[in-house]
Amino acid sequence: MGKYHSLTIFKYENPTGDIEKEYKNRFESPTVIKTNLRINTEIKGEIKGKSYLLFLLPINEVLKLESTIQENSRRIIDIMNSLPEIALDQFFNNTLVNEIVSTNEIEGVKTLNKEVVDAISNSDSSKKIRLKSFARMYKKIRNHENPEIKKLSDIRKIYNFLLEGEIPDDKLPDGKLFRNKSVRIGTDFSTVHKPKDNEDEISEDLNEWILFINSNDISPIFKVFIAHYFFENIHPFNDGNGRVGRYIACVYLGRKLDFLSAITFSNEINKNKKAYYNSFKEVTSPNNFGEITFFVLKMMEILASGQKDIISSMENKKRMLDFLAQFLKNEDQYDSLTKTLLFFYFQSFLFNHFDSGIEDRYIKKITKDYHWTDVRAKLDHLSDEKILKITKKSPLTRKITNEYIEKICK
C-alpha cells in the first residue's frame, strides 16, 4: 500500500483522478472518526465551495504516535516520582515560565521571564501583579483543579480569569459573551482566515464544540487536537483566542497525561510556529474536504517532541543531583542540618533555570525536625560564607551561589 497523503496532495499527484471519490472512500471508511464539527472551506480567507464535517482516519503514523505519547507520559511520571519535592516543584515552575512566555510570544505579546516568575510566586497573594491570574490558572492543571466546560458561559469565565488585565478595552468582546463583529486573520497584505462574524453563529458552533469535547467515544488525545483546531477556527473573541485555546488544550491534555506534558504544549509550538499555522491553513483548503488527520498528526509530533525534551532534561538534572547528593554524603565538615539545607538549594539551582531561590518561610515549613532558631542561624551563616546569597528581602529568599557550585564541581 502506498503512503497515505492529504487529499490536497492526492489531487496534485493525481490530476486526472477522482478526488471526490477518494474523499468519499475516506469519509465512509470503517475506521473513520467522524465529528459533529462543520467548517467552511476557504482560499485566502474567502469561503469557497461546500462546508464539511471534520473527520480523522487513524492511520498507522497517528496510532504509533498516540502510543509513543502515552509511553512518554508514563516515563515522565516515573522520573517525577523519583525526584525530591523541591526539585519537582522547581522543574514545574521552570516549565510553566517557558509555557506562559511562549503562549504570549506566539501572539506577539511581549512578556519577560521575570514577570512570569513573579506571577507564579505571587499567584495566591492579594498583590496586583501582571499575569498573576494567568499563572494561577495554569498551576491548577497540576492539581487537577480543571474548569468544567458545560455551557457557553464557562468559556467566557476562562477568558475572563486567564486574560485578566491583558486585553485592551477596545478589544474586549462586544457581544453578550463573545465577539459580535467581523474579524479577519492574517497580515496587512493577505487574509488567512475569515471566521463567522456574529455571536449567534459563533455560539451555535461553540455549542457543537462543547458537545464534542465532553464526548467519550474517541481517543482523548485525538479529541484535544480536533477541538483545539475547531476552537481556533471559530475565533470567538476579538483578541486572546490563541491563548485561551492553548490553555484549554493544556487542561484536557492534563486530564489524560502527566501535567508536565500538558504545560509544554505552547513552548513547543513556539519552536514550530510555521508548521503550526500551516497545519491550520491546510485543513480549510477546498481540496481537503474537512480531513483533519494531518493536523492532528502534526500536533501530536509537536507534543511528543516536547515530552522528549522534558525526559532528557529531567534525566540530566537527576544525574547531577545524584552527584551533588553524593558530594554532601562524603563531606565531613558539614553537620546534618547543613547538608539538609544545601540539598534543598541544590534542587532549586538545578531544576529551575530561572532560579530566584527559596523563601525562608518555605524552608521553615519543611524543616520541622529542627528548631527554627537553629535553621535560621545556619542560613545566616551559609549566607555569610557566600555559599548562599539573599535574592529578596521581603519575603526573605536565598539561593546557592554560582561560585560555590563551581568550587565543588572542579
Q: Is 243 annotated in some ligand binding site?
A: yes
Q: Phi and psi for 110 in degrees, rounded to 5?
A: -70, 125
Q: Is 239 annotated in some ligand binding site?
A: yes
CA proximity to 394, closest of 139, 127, 136, 133 = 127
Give the cell for residue 287.
481540496
Measured over the CA atoms of residue 320, residue 325, residue 329 and residue 331, the dihedral's sign is positive
* Residue 72 · residue 78 · CB < 8 Å: no
Q: Is 74 annotated in some ligand binding site?
A: no
Catalytic residue list contains 228? no
Burial zone of 332 (CB within 10 Å; 0-12 exposed, 13-18 middle, 19+ buried) = exposed
Q: Choose the catalytic residue: 5, 144, 193, 235.
A: 235
Write the CB contacts of 133 (distance below 8 Å, at least 6 apart in sequence). Answer: 161, 162, 163, 164, 165
Q: Is 244 annotated in some ligand binding site?
A: yes
Q: Is 306 annotated in some ligand binding site?
A: no
Beta pairing class for 46-56 and 185-186: unpaired
In this structure, how many other beta carbons lie within 10 angstroms of the beta carbon of residue 342?
A: 23
- Give the separation between CA 153 and CA 161, rounded to whole angstroms: 12
Binding residues for ATP: 239-246
Where in the sequence numbering do the catalytic residues fall?
Answer: 235
Known binding residues are: 239-246
